[in-house]
Structure formats: structure tokens, C-alpha cells
């Protein structure tokens, strides 16, 4: 057996450089880059290995470990899980900064390879700087924190172990059922050890994402249930996009007269004006989709994990509605007593089409979907129409930005009030042009994801929409995009704090407290000059004073040569209607009559919930 002597870190990097994937028939690197902040635990060995391959496997330096990993997740979304970025950190605080991002990837079923430095295996110099000691278990380090938020976890305590570990990490990240973050801890003394690795370990390998086909009996049962349906409804989730099943599902819905609605992760499966489309469903959904959900007798859920924002905390549907769930993941397919069809969305929809024959939903039901969606579009036109109000609403801002966006421009947002407003008001012009991270609802995802998305596809411009609260939480990757030359358009809606959570607080009986800046313990809620701040990081900027100026500002931003930031003051209290009910905790007793009333309403809402898992 031929061998090559390398350090563990060098061998790991060489292995990554020899893994490939196919995208549209072209061979590409499976790992096209590394996000890195070097420090104690990864600067002497891993950085030495990465420097040697910097022209093959480029290393990008971010400003914060969390945002680097979020950029990697944005990249994974933009490539529809076909390529995987690496994020590496030092030991201790650098590693722990990536835990939140791991939670984002885990919740959203997205691949990222996390490589963190770790303490000495030989323990000779213990305790080292940044080492957290556990008196009862000296093998525990901060990297054990990743176990709760990763699909694959390992710590390399001998250089030979990567021969077994790395292929398993890849298998998890490429599996449509198990897809999620993989973590490997790299003790700094093990990184330096040289080992005779078999040359075969570095053989160039092309990986293809598997497409499991459904069980025949399960598919037959799904066909039986669907054929009996008079009022079927399709819910399209993020798994449809990752499978590349958008066209197949859209054609299936149109051919059989089945209204199609979308989850947050699934928005962008179809264009807004597709004949079968009836809008987004759920808590940040449309009146059209939610009206149909309330009457549907069979719900075909494809590629969705049916989170509470989709199901209205399981109040959006009739108690008698049957569920058929197509999902690559057994866990998701079997939720809520559904007829589970475990399989790839594209393969399964194709087989479903072949088996269901000439079935069509009741024509009156199909027509109802069209009429409800027409009423929703008319309502959107009203919400988005400019007025003479001194402060514009989110709906008005989103409407103008949407109108000026190019067909392929990618809209990105995450936590706060914007997810609900873009879910309702953003009319998708082309598939795969919408990214709202709401599985983990992670403030700070947006700008970092814009960097990753711009890196993944330089032929289109990410349009990132955030509130002032998110900007204050994580803005440093504006600087990263300027340094690296990856442009985004960033639109900051300044409504004076955490407005949407203030809305929830008020709705459940508590007056504004510690959310809007004016309601916080501050001497004076001094406004932040986001324009000056962004300019200091090298971005181009424009302060938008009114809706009349916003369209021109967006057009100008599309012509610039670098990241461009626009700011506009927006209304903190006006929201687009269409929501479903949401289950949250409300105090059962309170000195406030408003809280007691909200608690009673909450208990009444819970009586409408479907019983299930």
C-alpha cells in the first residue's frame, strides 16, 4: 500500500480538496472554500495546511465566528445544498461563537463542516488558555456544546481517525434525510502529528446526493387517500427546493387542480402568479392559503417539517383533515399521524403523478383557490399603495423594493418583523429567489447570509432587508463584503427597536417594555446613524427620506460596484393582516386585566388545536 506522510491537519485539508460534486453536469469542488478566524488552536497547524492550498481551497476571513458560519449556511442555501463551506475557529470562545450558527444549520437541515480547535489530548500543559475544565470529566471541553446542535460530532484523538471520520461526516451532510451540520474537534497536539496515510484516502471522488424512492405500499396508500379528496391542498416546503422538485410539483398541482401554498422555507417554489399558487400559509401567511387550509379535507405536505408557523400551532386545519406527508426524512414524514411517504420529493412526486391517473380536484374547490388568491392580491395592492403618512409601513417598503428587484435578485431576511411582511408582500418573480431563515429565527443571519449567497452566485445581487435591531446585533460582515468584493444591497428599516416582539408583548397584555428603544431604561433613545456607520466600513450609502425616494435609491444601488446600504425610517405598529393563530405562553394570573383577557383567549385558541405529535 502506497502511503504519504502528512500531519493530521495537512491530511484533512488534502482530503477536502479531493472531494467533488456535480452541478448541472459540471464537476465542482464539494468544499469550495473555508471561512476562518485563526487563533489559539488552529493558527499553527490548520492554517499552515490551508495556506498551502489557498489557490485551490480559498480561505475567507470574517469578523466573527458566528457570522462566518452563518455566511456558510447562506452559501449552502444558495447552492441548494449541493456545495458545502467549511468554518473553522480557535478553541474556547471562538468555537462557542459558532454554536448558534450550528443551531441554524441543524434546524434548517443545512450542511456545514465546522472545524474547531480543541485542548491537548496528552494533557501535559493543561489547563491551557481558553480551556474550560470539568472537574468530574476531564475529557469534556467547550466543543461538547456542539452535540446538541449537530448531526455528526467527533473529536480526533489520533491522526488515523480522520480516515474513518471524514467520510462519515460527508455522508451525513449529503444525505437528504440526515442533512445538517457536521462538527469535528481538532486537538492542537493531534493536528501536528505526522502519519503515513494511504494515498487511496486522497483519491478524487465525485459525490452525488442520493434520491431515495418511496415504498410502493406507502405510495399506494397516499394515492388512495388523495383520490378520495374533494378539497385537497398542497403545502410546498424547503425540501421541494433542495430536491429540485419545483417544476414537477407545480405541474402536478396545476394538472390536478390542487391549490398550492408555501411554507417560509418553501416560498419561491413557484412564481407568485403560477396558476396553482394560493400564497403562503400559516402564522405569517395569507388569508387565501389559510382560508383553504381551514376547509381542506386532504393536505399533501411535501418537504416540510410542519413547524408551528406553518400549521398555526395546529389550528389552521379542519380536525378531520387527512395528511399525506412526502419527506426524505422519516422523522418529518411521520408527524401528526400522517400517511407517511418517505422518499425524495422529485422521485416521489413523479411516481405519484404516474399512479394517480386522471384524478382532478372538484372544480369548485380549484375555483375557490383562484378567487381567494385574487382577493389576497387585491388586498396586497391596498397595503402596498403609497400614502401621505409621515412614516411608511413595511408593506409599502417591501412593495417598492420588490417592484425594483431584478427577476433573479435574491431576497434575504430572517428574524424580526420583516419575515412576516416579505412572506406576505414579496411577489416572487423567479423560483429560488427567496431566503427567509425562520426555522431558527436567527437575528444576525441576514448580512452574513448575503455574503455567502453573493459568493455562491456572483451573477445575481442579494437584496438583504433587516430592521435596526438586527443591524445593531451583527453588522460586521458589511466590511467583509467590501473586503472580498462580494456585493449586496442592504436595506435597513429603522423602526426604533424590536418592533415585532413589542407587538406580541402588547397583544398579550403587557405594555411596551424593553423592546422599543423608547421603552427601555435609557437616558434618551438616541438614533443611530446607520449611514455613517456603514460608510465607515467602506460601503456606499444613501439615506432615504420618503417612499417617493426609495425606488430611485434601489435603482441607484443596482448600479454601484460594492455593497450599498439604504436606510429608511419605518412604522413600528402597522402590520399586514393574514395571520393564523399562534400558541405562546401567557401568564394564567396577573394583576393586569389585559393579561388575564389574553390568557383566556389563549386557552380558547388551544381548544381548536389538533391532537397529535
The region that residue 455 occupies, defined by phi over 0 for left and psi between -120 and 50 for alpha, beta otherwise, is alpha
pLDDT of residue 591: 96
DSSP element (H, E) containing 354: helix 345-356
CB atoms inside a 10 Å sphere around CB 47: 17
pLDDT tens-digit map of 229-280: 999 999 999 999 999 999 999 999 999 999 999 999 999 999 999 999 999 9
Q: Give the integer Cα–Cα distance in Å for 514 and 569.
A: 20
Residues 268 and 312 in one domain: yes
pLDDT of residue 520: 96
CA-CA-CA-CA torsion for 424, 426, 429, 430, nearest 10 degrees? -80
Q: Which three cell numbers stand for residue 608?
A: 381548536
Residues 271 and 203 in one domain: no
Question: Residue 362's domain spans which residues?
Answer: 216-373
What mean pLDDT value characterizes the chain?
A: 96
Q: Give the integer Cα–Cα distance in Å for 227 and 249.
A: 17
Q: How confident is the model at residue 24 (pLDDT cuts 50, 70, 90)?
A: confident
Q: Give the integer Cα–Cα distance in Å for 159 and 10.
A: 10
Residues 42 and 95 in one domain: yes
Q: Give the integer Cα–Cα distance in Å for 446 and 474.
A: 9
Q: Give the integer Cα–Cα distance in Å for 66 and 145.
A: 14
pLDDT of residue 611: 77
Question: Average pLDDT, stretch 138-160?
Answer: 97
Instruction: Compute the radius of gyration of the chain from its Cα atoms.
Output: 25
> Which of 245, 286, 297 shows the shortest CA–CA distance to 263?
286
Q: Give the integer Cα–Cα distance in Å for 503 and 441.
A: 16
pLDDT of residue 118: 96
CA-based end-to-end distance of the chain: 53
Q: Give the integer Cα–Cα distance in Å for 418 and 436.
A: 9
pLDDT of residue 613: 52
Residues 203 and 251 in one domain: no
Q: Which residues does 543 contact at the CB level (< 8 Å), separation at least 6?
A: 531, 566, 567
186 touches 46 (CB < 8 A): yes
**Residue 378 counted as domain residue:** no
User: Is the bond preceding 388 in cis, omega lying within 30 degrees of 0?
Assistant: no
CB atoms inside a 10 Å sphere around CB 121: 16
Residues 202 and 220 in one domain: no
Residues 422 and 441 in one domain: yes
Residues 230 and 200 in one domain: no
CB atoms inside a 10 Å sphere around CB 201: 17
DSSP string, 265-311: TTTTSS-TT-TTEEEE-STT--HHHHHHHHH-SEEEEES----HHHH
Cα angle value 301/307/309 (rounded, 5°): 105
Q: Check pLDDT > 90 for residue 198.
A: yes
CB atoms inside a 10 Å sphere around CB 520: 13
**Residue 380 counted as domain residue:** no
Say how many domains are in the chain: 3
DSSP element (H, E) containing 29: strand 26-29
pLDDT of residue 426: 98
CATH of the domain at 435: 3.40.50.970
pLDDT of residue 336: 87
**Residue 301 main-chain phi, psi, to 5 deg:** -95, 120
Residues 490 and 524 in one domain: yes
User: Is the bond preceding 127 in cis, omega lying within 30 degrees of 0?
Assistant: yes
CATH of the domain at 268: 3.40.50.1220
Bridge partners, 266 (sequence order) = none
Q: How confident is the model at residue 1 (pLDDT cuts 50, 70, 90)?
A: confident
Q: Going along 400-480, which residue ranges are E strands?
A: 410-413, 434-436, 462-467
Amino acid at each position: 500500500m502506497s502511503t504519504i506522510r502528512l500531519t493530521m491537519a495537512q491530511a484533512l485539508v488534502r482530503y477536502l480538496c479531493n472531494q467533488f460534486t456535480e452541478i448541472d453536469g459540471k464537476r465542482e469542488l464539494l468544499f469550495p472554500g473555508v471561512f476562518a478566524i485563526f487563533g489559539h488552536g488552529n493558527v499553527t497547524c490548520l492554517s499552515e495546511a490551508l495556506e498551502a492550498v489557498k489557490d485551490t481551497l480559498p480561505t475567507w476571513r470574517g469578523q466573527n465566528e458566528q457570522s462566518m458560519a452563518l455566511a456558510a449556511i447562506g452559501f449552502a442555501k444558495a447552492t441548494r445544498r449541493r456545495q458545502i463551506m467549511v468554518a473553522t475557529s480557535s478553541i474556547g470562545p471562538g468555537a462557542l461563537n459558532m454554536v448558534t450558527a450550528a443551531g441554524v444549520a441543524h434546524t434548517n437541515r443545512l450542511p456545514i463542516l465546522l472545524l474547531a480547535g480543541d485542548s491537548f489530548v496528552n494533557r501535559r500543559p493543561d489547563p491551557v488558555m481558553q480551556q474550560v475544565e470539568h472537574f468530574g470529566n476531564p475529557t469534556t471541553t467547550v466543543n461538547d456544546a456542539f452535540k446538541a446542535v449537530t448531526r455528526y460530532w467527533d473529536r480526533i484523538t489520533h491522526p488515523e481517525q480522520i480516515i474513518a471520520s471524514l467520510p462519515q461526516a460527508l455522508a451525513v451532510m449529503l444525505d437528504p434525510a440526515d442533512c445538517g451540520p457536521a462538527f469535528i474537534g481538532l486537538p492542537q497536539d493531534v493536528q501536528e502529528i505526522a502519519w503515513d496515510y494511504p494515498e487511496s484516502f486522497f483519491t478524487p471522488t465525485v459525490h452525488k446526493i442520493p434520491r431515495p424512492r418511496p415504498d410502493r405500499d406507502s405510495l399506494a396508500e397516499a394515492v388512495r387517500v388523495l383520490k378520495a379528496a374533494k378539497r385537497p391542498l398542497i403545502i410546498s416546503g424547503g425540501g421541494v427546493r433542495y430536491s429540485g422538485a419545483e417544476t414537477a410539483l407545480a405541474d402536478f398541482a396545476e394538472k390536478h387542480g390542487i391549490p398550492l401554498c408555501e411554507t417560509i422555507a418553501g416560498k419561491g417554489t413557484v412564481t407568485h402568479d403560477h396558476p396553482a399558487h394560493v400564497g403562503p400559509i400559516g402564522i405569517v401567511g395569507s388569508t387565501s392559503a389559510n382560508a383553504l387550509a381551514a376547509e381542506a379535507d386532504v393536505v399533501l405536505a411535501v418537504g416540510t417539517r410542519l413547524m408551528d408557523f406553518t400549521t398555526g400551532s395546529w389550528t389552521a386545519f379542519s380536525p378531520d383533515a387527512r395528511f399525506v406527508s412526502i419527506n426524505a426524512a422519516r422523522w418529518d414524514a411521520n408527524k401528526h399521524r400522517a400517511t407517511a411517504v418517505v422518499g425524495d420529493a422529485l422521485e416521489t412526486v413523479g411516481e405519484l403523478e404516474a399512479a394517480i391517473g386522471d384524478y382532478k380536484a372538484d372544480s369548485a374547490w380549484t375555483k375557490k383557490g383562484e378567487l381567494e388568491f385574487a382577493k389576497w392580491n387585491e388586498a396586497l395592492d391596498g397595503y402596498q399603495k403609497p400614502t401621505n403618512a409621515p412614516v411608511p409601513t413595511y408593506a409599502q417598503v417591501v412593495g417598492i423594493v420588490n417592484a425594483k428587484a431584478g427577476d433573479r435578485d435574491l431576497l434575504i431576511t430572517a428574524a424580526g418583523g420583516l419575515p412576516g411582511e416579505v412572506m406576505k408582500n414579496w411577489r416572487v418573480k423567479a423560483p429560488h429567489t427567496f431566503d427567509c431563515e425562520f426555522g431558527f429565527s436567527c437575528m444576525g443571519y441576514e448580512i452574513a447570509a448575503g455574503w455567502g449567497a453573493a459568493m455562491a452566485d456572483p451573477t445575481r445581487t442579494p437584496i438583504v432587508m433587516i430592521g435596526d435591531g438586527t443591524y445593531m446585533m451583527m453588522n460586521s460582515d458589511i466590511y467583509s463584503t467590501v473586503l472580498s468584493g462580494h456585493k449586496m444591497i442592504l436595506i435597513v428599516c429603522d423602526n426604533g427597536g424590536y418592533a415585532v416582539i413589542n407587538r406580541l408583548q402588547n397583544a398579550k397584555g403587557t405594555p411596551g417594555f424593553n423592546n422599543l428603544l423608547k421603552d427601555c431604561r435609557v437616558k434618551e433613545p438616541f438614533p443611530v446613524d446607520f449611514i455613517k456607520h456603514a460608510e465607515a466600513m467602506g460601503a456606499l450609502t444613501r439615506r432615504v427620506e420618503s417612499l417617493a425616494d426609495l425606488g430611485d435609491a434601489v435603482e441607484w444601488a443596482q448600479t454601484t460596484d460594492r455593497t450599498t446600504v439604504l436606510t429608511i425610517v419605518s412604522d413600528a405598529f402597522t402590520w399586514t393582516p393574514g395571520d393564523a393563530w399562534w400558541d405562546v405562553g401567557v401568564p394564567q394570573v396577573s394583576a393586569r386585566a389585559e393579561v388575564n383577557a389574553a390568557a383566556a383567549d389563549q386557552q380558547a385558541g388551544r381548544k381548536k388545536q389538533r391532537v397529535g405529535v
